[in-house]
Amino acid sequence: MTNIPTGVVARGEPMEMLLNMGPQHPSTHGVFRMVLWVDGEKVTDVEPHIGYLHRGSEKLCEGEQFHQVITLFDRMDYLANFNNELVYCAAVEKLMGLTVPERAEYVRVILCELNRIASHLLFVATMGLDAGAMTPSMICFRGRERVQSLFEAVSGARMMHNYFRIGGLKEDLPDNFEEMVGELMPLLQADIEEADKLLTFNEIFLARLKGVAAISVEDALDFGLTGPCLRACGVDYDLRKADPYSVYERFEFNVPTGLDGDCWDRHFVRVQEMYESMKILEQALKQMPKGNVTSSLGRRLPRPPKGEVYVRTENPRGEIGVYLVCDGTDKPYRLKVRPPSFCNLSAIKHLLKDTWIADTVVVLGSLDIVLGEVDR
Amino acid sequence: MSLPIPLLSVNLITLFWIVAGLLAMFTALSVVVLSLTWLERKLLGRLQRRLGPTRTGPMGLMQPIADALKLILKEDIVPTSSEKAIFWIAPVLVVVPAFMIWVTIPGTGNLVLKNLGDLGLFYIIAFSVVGILGLVLAGWGSANKYGTLGGLRAAAQLISYEIPVIMVVIAVAMLAQSLNMVEIVEKQSSYPYVLVFPLGLVIFFIAGLAEVGRTPFDIYFAESEIVGGPFVEYSGAHWSVFFLAEYINTFAVAALTVLLFLGGWSGPFLTGNWEIIWFLAKVYAVILVIFWIRGTFPRLRIDQLMAFAWKVMVPLSFYAIVITAVYLFYGLPPWTLTLMSLAGLAVVGYAIYRRFAGPASQAAQVRARYLALQSRSGQ
């Protein structure tokens, strides 16, 4: 024998094998790395490693002018670009005391909700793939593609839109936007329903996900879980309701919650959220006024006064917060992001206790992390 | 005129025919594999509202050839830490049994390479087990932990599901009073065994799916967890050999399902060797079902898979033997066996629905709870 597979280490009883999963692994949703200690097929311990996608975004923000920072926010949570742009713009606007034109607020809400749907569709796709079902991913990607085509028509880019501006938008929507959305909505609804029907109550899918990696409300709150991961435990906490921003208090929608806080509930909550987002979209499209989309700031460079501000919004992945300190120059003095993925990921060690190797990818998938946001 | 080899006292003409037959079988199976890869891609594409391959040739028909060429021309990487001898021998150990099975699988009554007579079914079962060794060695020899895990999973899974397969095959052999494949099919000329023995078909098909590792039993090369299992370190031609074996095995399971339960090549209108058209049509229909399942279901977890094998499939296969024995011993009319089969299926189906691993009842419970929740929040 020349080579025995290395890494067979004994950490007490019984003999455990050290299994390195990632950063080059198809199911770690990017460049996440987990070091698993496995006893046969059982995971006894896990050590997560992050930082493979660290680009120093927060530091980079300090070197950019306020309107240039928006592009960096696009690249943090690259599956929910509009939502990220919104939270940063809202932070600067709050510091400057700018009022955003009503039409711009509505456009922002519409694009954010569409982006939420696109992001959750991707979640359902990857959840299916992690559990071994390939067809839902095709359905979901088709739906997401439709949304992205609309985004391209609006902002010129399928991702990394750079469309929101401090105090409004880059430009008004294209003339045939209502037509395009009118075409998109029923198709999107059909896509969501198709994926939902195929996957959510599939018995093998339920057997794989139900009861796996359940987390109690107390633990979830202690770990700082937010968004669908927290709502899956049954906590009715959504910033769009709990701390309404933009024009969200004008819409009727439910906050779907789970019951057990397990992987399946996290999946279920997200699927239901897509339906709720469709409701918000319909109302927003009806209520959207005509008018200006840029604020009194016009095309001048924003230069907020000295001070600090914390703004939080509801991302598809949870609560994103921006803490912004300004010293009166045209660049942020310090910008700190509270990324939902990072906080949700912190529970992975707790969640993966006594699961199977096959469960690790499912549990990781159910947290729906975006490494661009975890590492920043 | 015989060769100067005492053990193989065959004359040259027989030898020629054996070689020609083996070559023909190899060619035919390769063509079958090419057709299956194309069919799978096309069908999965249509199930997912895609087109599947379209660019290579009309309807993408040249796609499998392009794939094969690509795989053969790719660099064949052998990891430095691997056990070279085992690494090289493992694909051969997988693919040779896959081909060997086909020596005695008949296309029609005459169209068979070598009818081994009463050894036929025994030979098929014996050789279908050998492939496991290749998978385990492939996983172990590549000195990769994912590969090792996959190989061990393969061993556990395939050995567990071998038992129901063998039990059901024994039951069919009892029904036909023969292990000769041709005789088994000829016994079904009046009615296929699926009509009297539906339980057998269900067990054989499910266990067969697990034997070849198709969805939802593709545990040992689960690409989302252990990224290909035993094949993870293989590339190029070596990998394509595994691929070849997998499709030949899938085809073999479909063919055996057809031969043992669906009446083989018997069908109206066609006679003589033309009956192979019926055989192929039935086999491809079964294959389509396998692909359809692949497009629909997620994957089970290893513990659920093993629980299903030992708590459901094995007892059910023993039941299958018992009812067949009762039917034969008392000389009951055929419909009693159908009834007993269906009763067994119903009982197990109900048990699964009620309790086992709970997915079905869980689905109902969960659905009810969430409907209640939604109606509350809607008010």
Cβ count near A329 (within 10 Å): 12
DSSP strand pairing (A164-165 vs A42-49): unpaired
**Contact yes or no for B238/B134 (Cβ under 8 A):** no
B18–chain A Cβ distance below 8 A for any pair: no
Residue of chain B whose Cα is closest to the Cα of A40:
B149
B350 touches A: beta carbon within 8 Å? no
The reported pLDDT for the residue numbered A10 is: 47
How far is B175 from B340, CA to CA, in rounded Å?
14
List of residues 6+ apart from B97 with CB closer than 8 A: B127, B128, B130, B131, B134
- Chain B residues within an 8 Å CB radius of A356: 301-303
Would A97 be classed as within a structural domain? yes
Kindly identify which residue of chain B lies nearest to residue A128, measuring between CA atoms. B298
SS (H, E, C) chain B: CECCCCCCCCEHHHHHHHHHHHHHHHHHHHHHHHHHHHHHHHHHHHHCCCCCCCCCCHHHCCHHHHHHHHHHHCCCCCCCCCCHHHHHHHHHHHHHHHHHHCCCCCCCCCCCCCCCHHHHHHHHHHHHHHHHHHHHHHHHHCCCHHHHHHHHHHHHHHHHHHHHHHHHHHHHHHHHCCCCHHHHHHHCCCCCHHHHCHHHHHHHHHHHHHHCCCCCCCCCCCCCCCCCHHHCCCCHHHHHHHHHHHHHHHHHHHHHHHHHHCCCCCCCCCCHHHHHHHHHHHHHHHHHHHHHHHHHCCCCCHHHHHHHHHHHHHHHHHHHHHHHHHHHHHCCCHHHHHHHHHHHHHHHHHHHHHCCCCHHHHHHHHHHHHHHHHHHHHC
CB contact under 8 A, B222 and A358: yes
Residue A92 lies in a domain: yes
CA of B81 vs chain A CAs: smallest distance (Å):
6
Residue indicated by tokens 């919104």: A86
Look at strands A16-21 and A8-9 and give their pairing.
Answer: antiparallel
- Is A45 part of a structural domain of the chain? no
Distance from CA of B170 to the nearest CA of A (A): 30
pLDDT at B103 over 90: no
Contact criterion met (CB below 8 Å) for A340 and A317: yes
Can you give the pLDDT at residue A124? 92
Which of A18, A27, A206, A272 is the mutation pick for testing B, counting most B CBs within 10 A?
A206
| Neighbour count for residue A48 (Cβ, 10 Å) | 19
The pair phi, psi for residue B55, each rounded to 5°, is -85, -30
Using alpha carbons, select from B287, B226, B221, B251 the residue that is nearest to residue B28. B251
pLDDT score, position A117: 93
Within 10 A of B293 (CB to CB), how many other CB atoms are there? 16
What CATH number did the domain enclosing A284 receive?
1.10.645.10
Structural element, H or E, at residue A48: strand A42-49
pLDDT of chain A, 376 residues: tens digit per residue: 344 444 444 455 556 778 888 788 877 777 888 888 888 888 888 888 888 888 888 888 888 888 889 998 888 888 889 999 999 999 998 888 888 888 888 999 999 999 999 999 999 999 988 888 888 888 899 999 999 999 999 988 888 888 888 888 888 888 888 888 988 999 999 989 888 888 888 878 888 888 888 888 888 888 889 989 888 888 888 888 888 888 888 888 888 888 888 888 899 889 989 988 998 999 998 888 888 888 777 777 888 888 899 999 999 988 999 999 998 888 889 899 998 999 898 888 888 888 888 888 899 889 888 888 888 8
Domain that holds residue A99: 57-351+360-365
B9: amino acid identity, one letter: S
d(CA A348, CA A336): 23
Pair A158, A148: CB distance under 8 Å: yes
Q: What is the CA radius of gyration of chain B?
A: 23
Looking at the structure of chain A, the number of domains it has is 1
Helix (H, G, I), strand (E, B) or coil at A252: coil
Position B197 pLDDT exceeds 80: yes
In this complex, do A5 and B48 lie within 8 Å of one another by their Cβ atoms? no
Are A246 and A86 in contact, with CB atoms under 8 Å apart? Answer: yes
Q: Residue B260 is which amino acid? A: L
- Mean pLDDT of the B281-292 span: 91
In residues, how long is chain A?
376
Instruction: Report the mean per-residue pLDDT for chain B.
Output: 82
Q: Is B366 on the interface with A (CB under 8 A)?
A: yes
Contacts of B98 (CB under 8 A, 6+ apart): B131, B244, B245, B248, B249, B252
Residue A160 lies in a domain: yes
| CA dist., res. A27 & res. A37, Å (int) | 18
The answer to whether position A308 is within a domain reads yes
Which residues does chain A have within 8 Å of residue B377's beta carbon, measured at their own beta carbons? 254-256
- Find out whether A273 and A246 touch, Cβ atoms under 8 Å: no
Return the pLDDT at A123.
Answer: 92
Q: Is the ipTM of this complex over 0.85?
A: no
Residue labelled with tokens 């050995």: B159
pLDDT at B363: 57
> Tell me, what's the pLDDT at B376?
59
Chain A interface, mutation test: which of B224, B355, B356, most A Cβ atoms within 10 Å?
B224
Is B295's CB within 8 Å of A135's CB? yes
Model confidence over B292-324: pLDDT tens digits? Answer: 998 888 888 888 888 888 888 898 888 888 888
d(CA A239, CA B178): 72
Query: pTM for this one?
Result: 0.85
Chain A residue with Cα closest to B299: A132
A179: in domain: yes
Question: Measured between alpha carbons, how far is A259 from A265 in angstroms, rounded to an integer?
Answer: 7
Q: Residue B239: what are its φ and ψ, rounded to 5°? A: -65, -40
Model confidence over B219-246: pLDDT tens digits? 887 777 778 778 888 888 888 888 888 8
Taking contacts as CB-CB distances below 8 angstroms, the residues of chain B near A24 are none
Nearest CA in chain A to B79: A3
Q: Do B369 and A259 touch (CB under 8 A)?
A: yes
Q: Which residue has the tokens 């460079």?
A: A301
The secondary structure of chain A in percent helix, strand, coil, rounded to multiples of 5, reads 45, 15, 40
Which chain B residue has the Cα nearest residue A276? Answer: B378
Measured in angstroms, the CA of B336 and the nearest CA of chain A are apart by 32
A137 in a structural domain: yes
> What's the rounded Cα separation, in Å, for the pair B291 and B40?
6
Q: Which residue has the tokens 């599947």?
A: B52
